[in-house]
Amino acid sequence: MAGHSKFANIKHKKEKNDAARGRVFTRLGREIAMAVKHGGGPDPDANSRLRDAISKAKAENMSNDTIERSIKKAAGDIGAVNFDSATYEGYGPGGVAVIVKVLTDNRTRTAANVRHAFTKGGGSLGTQGCVSFSFSEIGQILIEANPDINEEELMLMALDAGAEDFLVQEEGYEIHTSVASFSNVRQAIEDAGVPMVSAEVTMLPQTWVTLTTPEELKQMGKMLDLLDEDDDVQDVYHNWEDS
């Protein structure tokens, strides 16, 4: 991971205009709705998936009132929450591996939009599993460096809660967990009052690809922009070394 700054990527994502922020909140609302429907109801104390979704929403500066409204709406319309999840895989310019996860109420529309983004970005949509083998699904928690944080205490707390790896970087700390232990580790850090830059289950590339030509860089940016503008797209993972 030398030279790859997840911290820089997160900060870049948060520096968005109002329209982009609106799309982020739309996606978070869908994630909260799905957590209510499939995670065990509207009580976060009894629904770890919902707790994680709420934490993610707060990290994106979604207000408590908006979060509460999303939960109540999902609980009241639980039978109407009909989003399907789907995953698309393919290649971007220069052989960059790309995974796109969606929540959609119209698979035909979404598949066409995702294929369009790949094509316009100089890539190609592939078959299921064509690139996912080169990613690891993990829990990832980022904590910005802070003189008030005791590094050793934080590491021990994370490991005691079930973390698998604790990485010290120039910008702060990166904690890896299994998918199963992610919620416990995130909750332990939150209970300790330690602010998190981000906390999510993600797909971590095992190798990285560098794009060198202006055309490849332009195409990759175009693909990511088109995917980001699609409300159905929840997450995009890639192994482009873009820092």
pLDDT digits (tens, 9 = 90+) for 62-95: 999 999 999 988 888 755 667 889 999 999 999 9
Q: Report pTM.
A: 0.86
Phi/psi class of residue 26: alpha, beta or left (left: φ > 0; alpha: ψ in -120 to 50)? alpha
E strand or H helix at 26: helix 18-39
Query: Residue 177: CB partners within 8 Å, gap ≥ 6?
Result: 138, 139, 140, 141, 162, 163, 164, 185
**In Å, how far from its chain's centre is CA 210?**
22
Which runs of consecutive H residues, i.e. helices, occur in 40-150?
48-59, 64-76, 107-120
User: In Å, how far are 175, 184, 186 from 180, measured between CA atoms?
Assistant: 14, 8, 11
Q: Is 167 helix (H, G, I), strand (E, B) or coil?
A: strand
What's the confidence (pLDDT) of residue 117? 98
Q: What is the pLDDT of residues 164-214, one digit of tens each?
A: 999 999 899 999 999 999 999 999 999 999 999 999 999 999 999 999 999
- Would you give the end-to-end CA distance of the chain in angstroms? 11
Q: What is the pLDDT of residues 88-129, one digit of tens each?
A: 999 999 999 999 999 999 999 999 999 999 999 999 999 999
Amino acid 178: pLDDT = 98
